[in-house]
Amino acid sequence: MSKTLRWLIPVLMLAASQIASQAPAQNWPDRPIKLISSQAAGTGTDIIGRVVADRLSARLGQPVVFENRPGGGNVIGTQAAARSAPDGNTFFFASAAALVTDPYTFKSLPYDPMKDFTVISRTAEVTFMLLAHPDVPAKNLAELLAHAKANPDSLIVATDGPRRFSGMIAAWINKLAGTKMSYVPYTNIGQGIQDLMGGRLQLVILAVPAAKGHIAAASSRHWR
């Protein structure tokens, strides 16, 4: 059972401190460009970011290096981008989590989303999918929620943390549907996917770019 949830994330590319046009236009880019991501490899942001990096490299004639700096609920990578040299060659490939929701879910942050970054472009909007192990007796979201209500505390959902979108979606479903599904946070959601495939939990919430490959590779064995 795969159900697309109506929860969109704008993914933004921002320059740390100064935008590229502040560098001498006739010479830019004169060396490799770095895109920093605050999320781990294999996430939706990572997959989209690497596509963008490859296409920018071909168009600009310079290597574009995509660098994952996960951890701390996006804080580590975002802070690294905010403190990077304002030379027009280091950019932050950010999800809305780093710059939109974190200011509301953390008491304080070591960066200011409004002052430390300048918007360059929005590159994508990403939806999430709720994926279930084949042992779950449900073929759609309505059947899943009915099963969850009839069997309280029987379903465990893998998320990337309570302050991340997947964790918020899991809590949101519980609240709206009146269910009591448990959710387990993973620092690396890839481990959560492995636990789902191994039958150690029943559900996972993934962004579509991260979910599609797993569905295509194992649709008959691991997913519904």
pLDDT band at 7 (very low <50, low <70, confident <90, very high): very low
192's tokens: 């959560």
pLDDT at 70 > cutoff 80: yes
For residue 208, what pLDDT is reported? 79
CATH second-level architecture of 8-126?
3-Layer(aba) Sandwich (3.40)
Statement: the pTM of the whole predicted model exceeds 0.85: no
CATH fold group of domain 127-218: D-Maltodextrin-Binding Protein; domain 2 (3.40.190)
Q: What is the mean pLDDT of the chain?
A: 81
pLDDT tens for residues 180-191? 999 898 877 888
For residue 64, what pLDDT is reported? 94
Residue 34 CA to residue 123 CA, distance in Å, equals 16
Cβ atoms within 10 A of the Cβ of 173, count?
22
Closest to 50 (Cα-Cα) out of 61, 71, 36, 62: 36
- Domain map of the chain by residue range? 8-126, 127-218
pLDDT band at 149 (very low <50, low <70, confident <90, very high): very high
For residue 10, what pLDDT is reported? 42
For residue 26, what pLDDT is reported? 63
**Vertex 129 angle, CA 125 and 134, to 5°:** 160
Q: Are 141 and 6 in contact (CB under 8 A)?
A: no
pLDDT band at 175 (very low <50, low <70, confident <90, very high): very high
pLDDT tens for residues 91-144? 999 888 888 888 888 889 999 988 888 888 888 777 888 889 989 999 888 999
For residue 71, what pLDDT is reported? 85
For residue 65, what pLDDT is reported? 94
For residue 194, what pLDDT is reported? 87
Amino acid residing at 125: E
Fold match, 8-126 / 127-218: yes
